[in-house]
RNA sequence: GCCGAGGUGGUGUAAUUGGCAGCCACGCAGGUCUUAGAAGCCUGUGCCGCGAGGCGUGCGGGUUCGAGUCCCGCCCUCGGCACCA
């Protein structure tokens, strides 16, 4: 810290903070450029949505990032520490709908205010690199990437469901349709199929899983687990069942082909295409279709109500499938528990060895045949009646473990593991199946029927069909105005000068796509743009990117563990495949901070701060009352960064007290200190008194400890150990940090009884001797036989007596 | 149900990874200064006991000279996913 000639005696945070913030701004203190002589460090915090006000979660996020940035900067790294705005999205549009405010004006007003708040917090950003998603300079490149995706067939259009209010004829988001009713008019929300754009993230499912090993060391296990679950890889087999008296067949996915001799039915999802194809002439058609409609309708309600277990219902279609292994005829059912979106939308039902199938079979009186026996007594014994084919009365639950095959023709006697491999190969050889890997992950739907987002750069021409906007015509700009009624189609559809255009191919009149992109598109690559924020020829310069990225440390909320972080990993891999970058993973280290909670008034519950609960704390008020430094210090100190942080105002008071003490100390000594800083060389050890040497030792020990803590982002313990700071990050001198004299605990039978003093290099036998000679110790050892003495040099002595 | 992370004072937490359990704070109690209060500052503060001492890291066992830390078996809390075949 550079010490000014004139210092106030008392600690006035706003005065000090204002002075330094002004100084940093004028000096461009945090502006950085690529410098091949220096090692880069990219410290990134999740960019905020400009809602209008910073909240405590932001304060925590940026305080952690700023502490790390300072630490790395003082160590000599070239630190890139940028900020920007995730400035597209729903709230701006709602302000437009509710209050008639232009979304752009609303957004930019908010940014202006929040930028001021960040500056008042004193976060060390390179403000020249600030970006905002809603500016044409930025979303032009969203559109450019969309075109690249389209070229590579990673962007495609298909029918997909949205929440739809039939009264207002408008698309609703999940939040707008919570409880199954429209947020505005209260009408029941229905599902509607419309054409929407998707990114083929499923093409990258395997890489998203596989390349996790590159980041395993730097990401929280929790986040990786959540992503693994989300991707949901499952290996098994496809098996084709021919439908009797037709040319058709139904394909099922199973992880347990070894149980196929126990199949009692084929169950398909309500949406399965087979139903409309094959039931044309069936007498059962009406009944089946009525059931299908019933299932679709109740699925809709379940989306929003989140019920518990749903009863397994089904209906027999009258169709007969042939088990390709046994030749057995099986009925084909429609079941409400089979999902069209997963696997093939059809399953073979094996009630003896699958709980869901068991439940279904019991409910509909289908036979149950056991085909797997336990191989060890540790597996649960399940009653069954070997004398009968049908076990539906004997078996009380399904047996889902691996075991040994029975009642399975030539396969009987094999172990499940072996049978799975052999039977899969057999199916493949005979041409009625193959090994299969399925994923839970679905393609990324990016269409939004909204105004406030990046327009999708596609034109529909009657003659040429779907035509991408040529790169030279980017950006496709959002119009300045639209009608924000909140009803009808996407607001862009009502802006004639936007919609009506000419086809880039044939020049005839054509229409633009009126959907805009999901805001997760903006946040998938924003931190690459920070490295080259004003480039108008490309999303960024490859060389600059190669210097700064991947991100050294990313910090943000756990709520983005799956979507944002999975999308940005996907985006990175696509950028790699396009040739823009040469690595697989965008973020080397990730830290997910915990929530900031506060007591909810009238209860003793700690809940995340929110407007609706009325337990929010305004950072501005806190900064005004205690100063930014105290607020930031408290936030770092109060809990480990990944834990929940319980807001306690008395805690900030503690932080202020600490700062005041430090300030007072510096004030008392500042003249002496500035003299000392003039000296050419460090003073020799002899110049110090014993007390001064002890103080210097303590300082170096503290530096050592904080250095270790910072590397692991253990900021709470850093603060606990903190004493002072200097101009550059000091390197701890191990020699100076070493203790001159140690206090060595002496135990008798593992219980602490006394302490002896010794220098660090005291040899073992000397320690043993002084421990045994200690009066206090002798009162415990006298009259006992000494069995053993354990001496850990510099640590402890333990005497074992009998 | 499956997966993951955790259980340490009145509270938030700490413990150089097997070596003095409770650092640093909050809170509380006492003292000092003050006409009084606030703010400072000083002292104390795991529990039981006047004391010597005993007991203490969710519970029960084990390994070890020594366990908050390692092993086995339970219990509880939080988070994620969940009819995923």
Q: Which nucleotides of B are covered by protein (CB under 7 A)?
A: 3-5, 11-16, 19-21, 23-27, 39-41, 54, 65-67, 79-81, 83-85
Q: What is the pLDDT, as a whole number, of residue A776?
A: 84
Burial A539-563 (b: 16+ CB within 10 A, else e): bbeeeebebbbbbbbbbbbeebbee
Strand nucleotide closest to residue A438 (CA to C1'): B84
Q: How far apart are CA A424 and CA A432, in angstroms?
A: 10
Nearest to A477 by CA among A460, A459, A455, A493: A455
Q: What is the mean pLDDT of residues A551-563?
A: 91
Has residue A306 got a pLDDT over 50?
no
A219-254 residue pLDDT tens: 988 899 889 989 999 999 999 999 999 999 999 999
DSSP category for residue A173? -
Say how far A208 CA is from B68 C1', in Å.
38
Residue nearest B39 (alpha carbon to C1') = A657
A643: CB partners within 8 A, 6+ apart: A594
Q: What is the pLDDT, as a whole number, of residue A721?
A: 78
Say how far A499 CA is from B17 C1', in Å.
65
| H-type alpha helices, A186-233 | 205-210, 221-231
Q: What is the pLDDT, as a whole number, of residue A490?
A: 85
Has residue A653 got a pLDDT over 60?
yes
Has residue A361 got a pLDDT over 60?
yes
In chain A, residues 755 through 794 whose Cβ sits under 7 angstroms from any atom of nucleic acid strand B: 755, 788, 790, 792
**What mean pLDDT, rounded, does chain A reach?**
88
In chain A, residues 350 through 369 whose Cβ sits under 7 angstroms from any atom of nucleic acid strand B: 354, 356
In chain A, residues 637 through 656 whose Cβ sits under 7 angstroms from any atom of nucleic acid strand B: 637-640, 643-644, 646, 648, 650-651, 653-654, 656
- Phi/psi region, residue A794 (left: phi>0; alpha: psi -120 to 50; beta: rest), is left
According to DSSP, the residues that pair with A445 across neighbouring strands are A198
Has residue A188 got a pLDDT over 90?
no
Beta strands in A201-285 (DSSP E): 234-243, 249-254, 265-268
Q: Is A691 helix (H, G, I), strand (E, B) or coil?
A: helix
Q: What is the pLDDT, as a whole number, of residue A416?
A: 92
Has residue A304 got a pLDDT over 50?
no
Has residue A16 got a pLDDT over 60?
yes
Has residue A335 got a pLDDT over 70?
yes
In chain A, residues 279 through 338 whose Cβ sits under 7 angstroms from any atom of nucleic acid strand B: 309-312, 336-338
Q: What is the pLDDT, as a whole number, of residue A272?
A: 93
Handedness of CA A310, A316, A320, A323 (dihedral sign): positive
Has residue A623 got a pLDDT over 70?
yes
Q: What is the mean pLDDT of residues A706-730?
A: 73
Using 50, 70 and 90 to split pLDDT, how confident is the model at A186?
Answer: confident
Say how far A651 CA is from B44 C1', in Å.
21
Q: What is the pLDDT, as a whole number, of residue A724?
A: 40
Q: What is the pLDDT, as a whole number, of residue A446?
A: 92
- SS3 percent helix, strand, coil of chain A, rounded to 5, is 40, 20, 40
Q: What is the pLDDT, as a whole number, of residue A58?
A: 94
Has residue A727 got a pLDDT over 50?
no
H/E element holding A503? none
Residue A342 CB in 7 A reach of strand B: yes
Q: Are A739 and A697 in contact (CB under 8 A)?
A: yes
Q: Is A550 helix (H, G, I), strand (E, B) or coil?
A: coil
Between residues A501 and A194, which one has the greater pLDDT? A501
A58-75 residue pLDDT tens: 999 999 999 999 999 999
In chain A, residues 435 through 474 whose Cβ sits under 7 angstroms from any atom of nucleic acid strand B: 438, 440
Neighbour tally for A169: CB within 10 Å: 11
Strand nucleotide closest to residue A650 (CA to C1'): B26
Has residue A738 got a pLDDT over 80?
no
A319: CB partners within 8 A, 6+ apart: A243, A244, A274, A278, A279, A282, A331, A332
Residue A424 CB in 7 A reach of strand B: no
Between residues A175 and A786, which one has the greater pLDDT? A786
Say how far A675 CA is from B45 C1', in Å.
42
Residue owning tokens 């904080």 = A706
Residue A137 CB in 7 A reach of strand B: no
Q: Which two tokens stand for residue A134?
A: 């809603």
In chain A, residues 705 through 744 whose Cβ sits under 7 angstroms from any atom of nucleic acid strand B: 714, 716-717, 719-720, 743
Q: What is the pLDDT, as a whole number, of residue A308?
A: 54
Q: What is the pLDDT, as a whole number, of residue A678?
A: 60
Percent of chain A, pLDDT > 70? Answer: 91
Q: Which two tokens stand for residue A273?
A: 């295409």
Say how far A760 CA is from B44 C1', in Å.
33
In chain A, residues 16 through 35 whose Cβ sits under 7 angstroms from any atom of nucleic acid strand B: none
This model's pTM is above 0.80: yes
Strand nucleotide closest to residue A256 (CA to C1'): B85
Has residue A725 got a pLDDT over 60?
no
Say how far A765 CA is from B63 C1', in Å.
28
Has residue A383 got a pLDDT over 70?
no
A199-220 residue pLDDT tens: 999 999 999 999 998 998 889 8
In chain A, residues 154 through 193 whose Cβ sits under 7 angstroms from any atom of nucleic acid strand B: none
Q: How far apart are CA A531 and CA A537, in angstroms?
A: 14
Between residues A167 and A738, which one has the greater pLDDT? A167
Say how far A219 CA is from B60 C1', in Å.
36
Q: What is the pLDDT, as a whole number, of residue A378?
A: 62
Between residues A333 and A720, which one has the greater pLDDT? A333
Residue owning tokens 């009692």 = A264
Strand nucleotide closest to residue A645 (CA to C1'): B12
A603-619 residue pLDDT tens: 777 888 888 888 888 99
Has residue A149 got a pLDDT over 70?
yes
Using 50, 70 and 90 to split pLDDT, how confident is the model at A309?
Answer: low
According to DSSP, the residues that pair with A254 across neighbouring strands are A237
Strand nucleotide closest to residue A355 (CA to C1'): B83
Has residue A53 got a pLDDT over 60?
yes
Has residue A462 got a pLDDT over 90?
yes
Has residue A686 got a pLDDT over 70?
no
Between residues A742 and A250, which one has the greater pLDDT? A250
Q: What is the pLDDT, as a whole number, of residue A675?
A: 64
Q: How far apart are CA A104 and CA A50, in angstroms?
A: 11
Q: What is the mean pLDDT of residues A408-433?
A: 95
Neighbour tally for A321: CB within 10 Å: 26
Strand nucleotide closest to residue A312 (CA to C1'): B83
Q: How far apart are CA A59 and CA A555, in angstroms?
A: 12
A92-142 residue pLDDT tens: 998 998 898 999 999 999 999 999 999 999 999 999 999 999 999 999 999
Nearest to A619 by CA among A60, A7, A240, A219: A60
Say how far A766 CA is from B32 C1', in Å.
47
Q: How far apart are CA A147 and CA A577, in angstroms?
A: 14
Q: What is the pLDDT, as a whole number, of residue A708?
A: 86
Say how far A524 CA is from B21 C1', in Å.
46
Q: How far apart are CA A38 and CA A700, in angstroms?
A: 26
Using 50, 70 and 90 to split pLDDT, how confident is the model at A285?
Answer: confident
Has residue A1 got a pLDDT over 60?
no
Say how far A743 CA is from B44 C1', in Å.
24
């Amino acid at each position: 810290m550079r010490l000014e000639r004139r210092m106030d005696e008392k600690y006035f945070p706003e005065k000090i903070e204002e002075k330094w913030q002004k100084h940093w701004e004028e000096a461009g203190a945090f502006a950085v450029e690529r410098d091949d002589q220096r090692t880069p460090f990219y410290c990134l915090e999740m960019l905020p949505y400009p809602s209008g006000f910073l909240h405590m979660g932001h304060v925590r996020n940026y305080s952690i990032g700023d502490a790390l940035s300072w630490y790395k900067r003082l160590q000599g790294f070239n630190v890139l520490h940028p900020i920007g705005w995730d400035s597209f999205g729903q709230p701006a549009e709602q302000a437009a709908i509710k209050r008639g405010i232009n979304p752009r004006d609303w957004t930019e007003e908010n940014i202006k205010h929040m930028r001021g708040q960040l500056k008042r917090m004193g976060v060390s950003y390179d403000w020249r690199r600030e970006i905002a998603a809603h500016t044409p300079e930025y979303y032009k490149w969203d559109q450019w990437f969309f075109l690249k995706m389209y070229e590579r067939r990673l962007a495609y259009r298909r029918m997909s469901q949205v929440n739809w209010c039939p009264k207002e004829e408008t698309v609703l988001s999940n939040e707008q349709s919570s409880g199954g009713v429209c947020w505005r008019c209260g009408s029941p929300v229905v599902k509607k199929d419309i054409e929407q754009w998707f990114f083929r993230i499923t093409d990258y499912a395997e890489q998203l899983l596989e390349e996790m090993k590159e980041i395993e060391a730097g990401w929280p296990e929790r986040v990786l687990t959540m992503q693994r679950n989300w991707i949901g890889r499952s290996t098994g087999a496809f098996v084709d069942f021919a439908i009797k008296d037709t040319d058709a067949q139904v394909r099922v996915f199973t992880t347990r082909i070894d149980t196929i001799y126990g199949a009692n039915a084929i169950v398909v999802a309500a949406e399965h295409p087979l139903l409309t194809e094959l039931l044309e002439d069936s007498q059962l058609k009406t009944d089946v279709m009525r059931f299908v409609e019933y299932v679709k309708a109740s699925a809709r309600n379940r989306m929003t109500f989140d019920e518990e277990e749903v009863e397994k219902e089904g209906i027999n279609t009258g169709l007969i499938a042939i088990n390709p292994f046994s030749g057995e005829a099986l009925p084909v059912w429609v079941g409400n528990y089979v999902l069209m979106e997963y696997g093939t939308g059809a399953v073979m039902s094996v009630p003896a060895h699958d709980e869901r199938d068991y439940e279904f079979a019991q409910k509909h009186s289908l036979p149950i045949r056991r085909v797997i026996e336990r191989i060890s007594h540790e597996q649960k014994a399940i009653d069954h009646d070997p004398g009968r084919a049908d076990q539906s009365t004997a078996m009380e639950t399904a047996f889902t473990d691996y075991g040994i095959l029975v009642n399975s023709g030539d396969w009987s006697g094999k172990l499940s593991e072996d049978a799975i491999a052999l039977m899969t190969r057999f199916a493949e050889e005979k041409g009625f199946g193959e090994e299969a890997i399925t994923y839970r992950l679905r393609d990324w739907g990016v269409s939004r029927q909204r105004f406030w987002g990046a327009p999708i750069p596609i034109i529909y021409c009657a003659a040429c069909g779907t035509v991408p906007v040529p790169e030279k015509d980017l950006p496709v700009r959002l119009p300045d105005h639209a009608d924000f009624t909140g009803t009808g189609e996407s607001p862009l559809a009502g802006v004639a000068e936007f919609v009506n255009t000419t086809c880039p191919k044939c020049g005839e009149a054509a229409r633009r796509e009126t959907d805009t992109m999901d805001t997760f598109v903006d946040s998938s690559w924003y931190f690459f743009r920070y490295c080259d924020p004003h480039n108008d020829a490309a999303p960024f310069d490859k060389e600059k990117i190669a210097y700064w990225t991947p991100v050294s440390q990313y910090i943000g909320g756990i709520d983005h563990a799956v979507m944002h972080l999975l999308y940005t990993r996907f985006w990175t891999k696509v950028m790699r495949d396009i040739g823009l970058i040469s690595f697989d993973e965008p973020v080397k280290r990730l830290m997910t901070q915990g929530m900031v909670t506060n007591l909810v008034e009238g209860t003793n519950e700690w809940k995340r701060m929110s407007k609706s609960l009325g337990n929010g704390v305004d950072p501005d008020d806190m900064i005004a009352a205690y100063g930014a430094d105290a607020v930031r210090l408290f936030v770092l100190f109060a809990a480990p960064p990944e834990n929940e942080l319980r807001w306690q105002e008395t805690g900030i008071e503690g932080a202020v007290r600490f700062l005041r003490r430090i300030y007072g100390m510096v004030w008392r000594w500042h003249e002496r200190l500035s003299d000392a800083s003039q000296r050419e060389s460090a003073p020799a050890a002899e110049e110090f008194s014993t007390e001064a040497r002890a103080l210097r030792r303590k300082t170096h020990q503290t530096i050592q400890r904080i250095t270790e803590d910072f590397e692991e982002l253990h900021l709470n313990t850093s603060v606990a150990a903190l004493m002072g700071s200097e101009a550059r990050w000091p390197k701890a001198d191990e020699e100076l940090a070493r203790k001159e004299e140690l206090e060595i605990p002496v135990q008798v039978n593992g219980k602490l009884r006394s302490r002896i003093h010794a220098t660090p290099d005291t040899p073992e036998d000397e320690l043993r001797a002084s421990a045994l000679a200690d009066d206090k110790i002798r009162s415990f050892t006298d009259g006992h036989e000494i069995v053993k003495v354990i001496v850990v040099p510099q640590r402890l002595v333990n005497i074992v007596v009998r």
